[in-house]
A and B are shown apart, each in its own frame.
Chain A
Amino acid sequence: MIAVDDLSVQLNGQPILHQVSLKAQPGEVTVLLGPNGSGKTTLLLCLSAQIPPQEGRIVLDEQPLVELKTRDLARLLAIVPQEHHPVFPYTVREVMLLGRLSRVGFWSQPGARDRAVVTEIIDLLGINHLADKPYTRISGGERQLALLGRCLAQEPQVLLLDEPTNHLDFRNQVMILQLIRELAHQQGLTVLLTLHDPNLALVFADHVILLAAGKIVAQGRPADVIGPETMARLYGLEVGMVCQGEQRLLYPKLL
Chain B
Amino acid sequence: MFRHPLRGDAVTRRPWAYWLLLLSPLAAFLVAMQVGAYPVSWRAWWHLLASGHGQAGQLHAIIFDIRLPRIVLGMLVGVGLSASGATLQAVFRNPLVDAYIMGLSAGAAFGCAIAVGFIPALPIQIGAFVFSLIAAFLAFTLARTRREVPTLSLILSGVVVSAFFTALVSIVKFLVDPMKLASIVFWLMGSLSQADWRAVGQAGPWILAGSLLIWLGRWRLNAMSMGDVEARALGVDVGRERGLFILAAAVTVAAAVSVTGIIGWVGLMIPHIVRMLVGPDHRRVIPLSMAAGASFMVLSDTAARTMVGGEIPVGIITTLFGAPFFIYLLKRGGAESWSL
Query: What residues of chain A have their CB less than 8 Å away from a CB belonging to chain B?
Result: 48-50, 69-75, 78-79, 81, 84-91, 94, 98-99, 101-102, 104, 106-110, 132-134, 136-137, 150, 154
Contacts and interface: CB of A to CB of B under 8 A. Distances in A.
B121 interface: no
B7 interface: yes
A132 B9 contact: yes
A48 B233 CA distance: 7
Contacts of B281: 90-91, 94
Interface of B: 7-9, 11-12, 90, 93-95, 216-220, 222-223, 225-227, 229-230, 232-238, 275, 279-281, 283, 336-340
A87 B95 contact: yes
B279 A101 contact: no
A90 B233 CA distance: 18
Nearest to B92: A87
A104 B216 CA distance: 12
B236 A101 contact: yes
Contact of B283 (A89, A99, A109): A109
A70 B226 contact: no
Contacts of B220: 101, 106
Nearest to A91: B12
Contacts of B340: 89, 136-137
Given A70-B232, A87-B339, A89-B336, A98 B226 contact: yes
A88 B338 contact: yes
A84 B234 contact: no
A79 B12 contact: no
Given A109-B283, A137-B7, 11 more contacts: A48-B233, A74-B233, A86-B339, A88-B280, A89-B280, A90-B279, A91-B11, A98-B226, A109-B218, A134-B8, A134-B336
Contacts of B223: 98, 101
A52 B238 CA distance: 16
Given A89-B280, A102-B234, A134 B229 contact: no
**What 10 A-B pairs have minimum CB-CB distances, sorted nearest first?**
A74-B235, A102-B235, A88-B280, A107-B216, A71-B235, A87-B93, A136-B339, A101-B234, A70-B237, A132-B9
Nearest to A88: B280
A132 B8 contact: yes
Contacts of A94: 12, 222, 281
Nearest to B10: A132
Contacts of A134: 7-8, 11, 336
9 contacts: A69-B237, A70-B235, A71-B237, A81-B229, A87-B338, A89-B340, A91-B281, A98-B223, A107-B216
Contacts of B93: 87
Contacts of B226: 84, 86, 98
Contacts of B336: 89, 134
Given A87-B94, A88-B339, A91-B279, A73 B235 contact: yes
Contacts of B217: 106-107
